[in-house]
Chains A and B, each alone.
Chain A
Amino acid sequence: MGSKLSIALLALAAFTTTAAQAQDKTSDVIARGEYLARAGDCTACHTASEGRLFAGGRPMPTPFGTIYTSNITPDPETGIGKWSADDFYRTMHNGRFPNGGLIYPAMPFASYTKVTRADSDAIFAYLRSIQPVNQKNKPHELRFPYDNRQLILGWRTLYFSEGEFKPDPTKSAEWNRGAYLVEGLGHCGMCHSPINALGGTSQSDAFKGGLIPMQNWYAPSLTSNREAGLGDWSIKDITDLLQTGVSARGVVYGPMAEVVHNSLQYLDDADTKAMAVYLKGIAEGSSPPAASTVLPTTESSLLISLGKTVYDKNCASCHGPQGEGKPPHWPPLANNQSIEMQSAVNPIRMVLNGGYPPGTKGNPMPYGMPPFAGLLSDNEVAAVVSYIRTAWGNRGSPVSAREANELRSAPLN
C-alpha cells in the first residue's frame, strides 16, 4: 500500500517536473521571440500611433497609394489567431498568405526570407502569447493597376530571391551573426539600398544607399566610406551609435532614429557587436572621387562666406567654432561623413527641422537641436549647409537655395 502510494507520488513528481520544464521552455521561446520581434522592428509598422500593440492599421504611404498594415495579434477573426507555425513561416519566408495569396513587399519578406525556421517559430510563439485585439484590417488604397496583387509576381521575379541565410565559412561566427541580423531581421537594406521606379532593389545594389520614396530622407550607403560606410569607425563608436543613438562620430536622426528607438536599443551587447563587426567589414576600402561642385566658383565662395557668418552666429555654440562639437551629445560636423555625402538632403533637413536623437536606455535624456526653418532664409540655409560641407577639410559640395527651398515641404512624419 505504502509503496504503491510512493510510486504514484514519484510519478506525479516526475510529471510535474517535466510539465514545469516544458513551461520553462515555452516561456524561454516566447522571450526569445519577443527579442527577435524587436530585432525585426515589427512594431514600427504593425502598431499604429496610440493603437494597440501589433493590431496594425498604420498607414504606409507609397508612390502607388497607401497600404495599411495588418493585425498580427492572435485574434482568431481579425488577426492571425487561426494561423499555424507553418503558415507564419510561409509569410516570413515566402511572402504569401496561408491561402497562397501574394503579400505586398511593403512587408519586408525579401529580407525576412533569410530568417531561420527556429527563429520564425519563436516569433510566432511570442505573437501567440500577446493580447488578442479584435480589429479588422483596413483595405489598402492603391491606385490602378497597383491594386492588383498579381502584379507582385513581376516584382518577385525581378527582386525576390527566397532562401534562408547561408553563413560564409571564410568569415568568423561573429561576422556571420552580424550578417544574419543586418540582412535578415534588421531589413536594413529596405532603406539603405537604391530603390528603383518599381519599388525594388536589386541584389547587386544591396546597401548602396538611396533616397527613401515619400519621406525625402537619404539613407546612405553602408558600403561606401564616403557615405555611412563604417570602415574607419572603431567598433565602440559603431556599437554606441546602434545602441544609444549617439556616438563620438555622429548621431542618428529621422527614420534611423525610429530604428534605434524601436529596435536596435534592445539588442544585447553580443548581437550589437556582431552587427558592428559585419558593418565595418562590408565597407569598401576605396572611395569614389569627390563630387564636383555644380555652382560656379565665385557664386559658391560668396555663399560660403555668408555660410560662415550664419554658422558662427547660430551653430558654433553647440557644434564648436571648428566643427569639433561636444561629442557624443553635440555631434562633430568636421570629418562627419553624413554631411559630406553627394546627396545634401540630410544636412539641409537637419538644419530646417532640427531634431532629438532617440531617447534610449543608454541615452535617456538626449540633447536636441532647434529647427531653423523659421529663422533662416533659403539662401542662409543653403549658405550654412554649403559651409559645413566644405569647411574644416570636409569634402562635400555646395548646395543651392532652390534645394533648400524644396525640402521645406518635406513631410515631417
Chain B
Amino acid sequence: MLARAAASAALIVTLAAFDGAVAQTTNQPPDTMAARVEACTPCHGNKGEGTSDVYFPRLAGKPAGYLYNQLLAFRSGRRKYPPMNYLLEFLPDPYLEAMADYFASEHPPLPQPAPSGVSKDVLAQGELLATSGDAGRNIPACVSCHGPGLTGMQPGIPGLLGLRAAYVSAQLGAWRYGTRTAKSPDCMQLVAGHLTEADVTAVAAWLATRPAPADPAPVPKGTYALPFGCGSQPN
C-alpha cells in the first residue's frame, strides 16, 4: 500500500514536470484515465464491462493487483495476445498500475447470467468441481482460492463471476498449453493441468450460469488461507 502510494506520488510529480516541459495549447484531450484508455474500450467496454465478443473479458471491479499482474504479463509476452502485447510494449510500470487501478475502481453491473447449452449433469459436475474439487484427482475446489462467493481476494485473485464460458475455457486451455503463465509458483497451471476437456467445459458452463452476488467486490487480503501457494498472491 505504501509502495503504491509512493509510486503514484512519483507519477504525479513526473506528470507535473511534463506539464512544464511540453507547454500546450488549450485544445487538449481530457486529462483523465478514461481518455487515456480509449485504446482499450472497443474491446473491453467503456467502463471495462466487457463487450459482445465472448473472448474479450470484463475488467471492471477485478482486484487491482490482479489486473496489474496481467498487464505486466502481456507487456513481457508471458501472457500472449498479440494485439495487447503490442499496445503495452513500451508503457512504464506506474502507468500500467494506473490503468489497473482505473478498471478496478469501475463498477458497472455484472451481466445477466447466460442460459447454458449444456445438460444438467454437466452443470452438476461443474458445480462439484468448483465447490468441492476432486481430491482423488488432485483438483482443489475453485472456491478454496477464488473465495466462497467466487468474488476473488485482494490483491491477486480474481473473481470468476461475470465471465463467459468461452472465455473461461479459453483461459484454462491457455494455461494447459503454456500460452498463459502467471508468476511462479503458477498455481493455476497446476490446477488446469489436472483438468480434462470435459472438466473445463463443465466448470466454465456452471460458472457462467451463476447469478451476480449482492456484493461482487473481492474480499480483503488474508480473509482465508489458500490450499497452496500462488506467486500472484503474496502472503
For chain A, residues 346 to 374, give those with C-beta under 8 angstroms from any C-beta of chain B. Answer: 353-359, 361-371, 373-374
How does the 8 Å CB contact mask read for B76-92 relative to A, with 1 for contact and 0 for none?
A: 11100011011111111
* Interface flag for A197 (CB, 8 Å): no
B198 smallest CB distance to A (angstroms):
31
* Interface flag for A330 (CB, 8 Å): yes
Contacts of A374 in B (CB 8 A): 42-43, 53
How does the 8 Å CB contact mask read for B2-19 relative to A, with 1 for contact and 0 for none?
A: 000000000100110110
**Given A50-B76, A326-B28, A326-B29, residue A367 in contact with residue B35 (CB < 8 A):** yes
- The reply to whether B38 and A365 form a contact with Cβ atoms under 8 Å apart is no
Contacts of A329 in B (CB 8 A): 28-29
**Given A240-B22, A355-B87, A359-B92, residue A365 in contact with residue B39 (CB < 8 A):** no
Kindly state the separation between the CA atoms of A413 and B27 in the bound complex, as whole angstroms: 33
For chain B, residues 83 to 137, give those with C-beta under 8 angstroms from any C-beta of chain A. Answer: 83, 85-92, 94-95, 98
- The reply to whether B36 and A412 form a contact with Cβ atoms under 8 Å apart is no
B163 smallest CB distance to A (angstroms):
20
Contacts of B86 in A (CB 8 A): 353, 355, 371, 412-413
Kindly state the separation between the CA atoms of A328 and B14 in the bound complex, as whole angstroms: 17
Which residue of the partner chain, among A49, A326, A362, contacts B77 with CB atoms under 8 Å?
A49
Which residue of the partner chain, among B14, B29, B87, B91, contacts A371 with CB atoms under 8 Å?
B87
Contacts of B21 in A (CB 8 A): 244, 362
Kindly state the separation between the CA atoms of A369 and B37 in the bound complex, as whole angstroms: 9
* Interface flag for A30 (CB, 8 Å): no
Chain B, interface size: which category?
A: 35 or more
- The reply to whether B41 and A364 form a contact with Cβ atoms under 8 Å apart is no
A38 smallest CB distance to B (angstroms):
15
* Interface flag for A318 (CB, 8 Å): yes
- The reply to whether B90 and A371 form a contact with Cβ atoms under 8 Å apart is no
- The reply to whether A358 and B78 form a contact with Cβ atoms under 8 Å apart is no
Kindly state the separation between the CA atoms of A356 and B84 in the bound complex, as whole angstroms: 11
* Interface flag for A375 (CB, 8 Å): yes
* Interface flag for B170 (CB, 8 Å): no
* Interface flag for B40 (CB, 8 Å): yes
Q: Which of B18, B37, B94 is the most central at the interface, judged by chain A CB atoms within 10 Å of its CB?
A: B18
Which residue in chain B gives the minimum CB-CB distance to A330?
A: B29
For chain A, residues 399 to 413, give those with C-beta under 8 angstroms from any C-beta of chain B. Answer: 412-413
- The reply to whether A365 and B95 form a contact with Cβ atoms under 8 Å apart is yes
**Given A364-B11, A364-B95, residue A370 in contact with residue B39 (CB < 8 A):** yes
For chain A, residues 164 to 203, give those with C-beta under 8 angstroms from any C-beta of chain B. Answer: none
- The reply to whether A363 and B22 form a contact with Cβ atoms under 8 Å apart is yes
How does the 8 Å CB contact mask read for A360-400 relative to B, with 1 for contact and 0 for none?
A: 01111111111101110000000000000000000000000
* Interface flag for B24 (CB, 8 Å): yes
Contacts of A359 in B (CB 8 A): 90-92, 95
Kindly state the separation between the CA atoms of A45 and B43 in the bound complex, as whole angstroms: 32
Contacts of A273 in B (CB 8 A): none
- The reply to whether A50 and B94 form a contact with Cβ atoms under 8 Å apart is no
A334 smallest CB distance to B (angstroms):
14
Contacts of B92 in A (CB 8 A): 359, 364
- The reply to whether B90 and A413 form a contact with Cβ atoms under 8 Å apart is no
Contacts of B77 in A (CB 8 A): 49-50, 413
- The reply to whether A373 and B83 form a contact with Cβ atoms under 8 Å apart is yes
Contacts of B40 in A (CB 8 A): 368, 370
* Interface flag for A72 (CB, 8 Å): no
Contacts of A361 in B (CB 8 A): 14, 17
- The reply to whether B85 and A412 form a contact with Cβ atoms under 8 Å apart is yes
* Interface flag for A219 (CB, 8 Å): no
Kindly state the separation between the CA atoms of A137 and B44 in the bound complex, as whole angstroms: 41
Kindly state the separation between the CA atoms of A261 and B75 in the bound complex, as whole angstroms: 14
* Interface flag for A258 (CB, 8 Å): yes
Which residue of the partner chain, among A246, A330, A364, A370, contacts B94 with CB atoms under 8 Å?
A364
Contacts of B17 in A (CB 8 A): 361
- The reply to whether B90 and A258 form a contact with Cβ atoms under 8 Å apart is yes
Kindly state the separation between the CA atoms of A153 and B77 in the bound complex, as whole angstroms: 37
**Given A50-B76, A356-B87, A413-B86, residue A369 in contact with residue B39 (CB < 8 A):** yes
Contacts of B85 in A (CB 8 A): 412-413
Kindly state the separation between the CA atoms of A365 and B37 in the bound complex, as whole angstroms: 10
For chain B, residues 38 to 90, give those with C-beta under 8 angstroms from any C-beta of chain A. Answer: 38-43, 53, 76-78, 82-83, 85-90
Which residue in chain B gives the minimum CB-CB distance to A373?
A: B83
Kindly state the separation between the CA atoms of A364 and B40 in the bound complex, as whole angstroms: 18
**Given A329-B28, A371-B83, residue A50 in contact with residue B78 (CB < 8 A):** yes
Which residue in chain B gives the minimum CB-CB distance to A357?
A: B90
Kindly state the separation between the CA atoms of A360 and B76 in the bound complex, as whole angstroms: 18
Which residue of the partner chain, among B22, B27, B38, contacts A367 with CB atoms under 8 Å?
B38
Contacts of B15 in A (CB 8 A): 364-365
Contacts of B91 in A (CB 8 A): 356, 358-359, 366
B122 smallest CB distance to A (angstroms):
31
Kindly state the separation between the CA atoms of A169 and B70 in the bound complex, as whole angstroms: 54
Binding site for B on A (CB under 8 A): 49-50, 240, 244, 246, 257-258, 261, 318, 326-330, 353-359, 361-371, 373-375, 412-413
Contacts beyond the supplied A356-B88, A365-B15, A369-B39: 16 A-B pairs with Cβ under 8 Å: A246-B22, A327-B24, A328-B24, A354-B39, A354-B83, A359-B92, A362-B18, A365-B11, A366-B36, A366-B95, A368-B36, A368-B37, A368-B87, A370-B39, A371-B39, A373-B83
The 9 closest A-B pairs by CB, nearest first: A368-B39, A358-B90, A359-B92, A261-B90, A412-B86, A412-B82, A370-B42, A359-B91, A370-B39
Can you sample 16 A-B contacts with CB below 8 Å? A318-B38, A329-B29, A354-B83, A356-B88, A359-B92, A362-B21, A364-B15, A366-B91, A367-B29, A367-B39, A368-B39, A370-B41, A370-B42, A373-B83, A412-B83, A413-B82
Binding site for A on B (CB under 8 A): 11, 14-15, 17-18, 21-22, 24, 27-29, 35-43, 53, 76-78, 82-83, 85-92, 94-95, 98
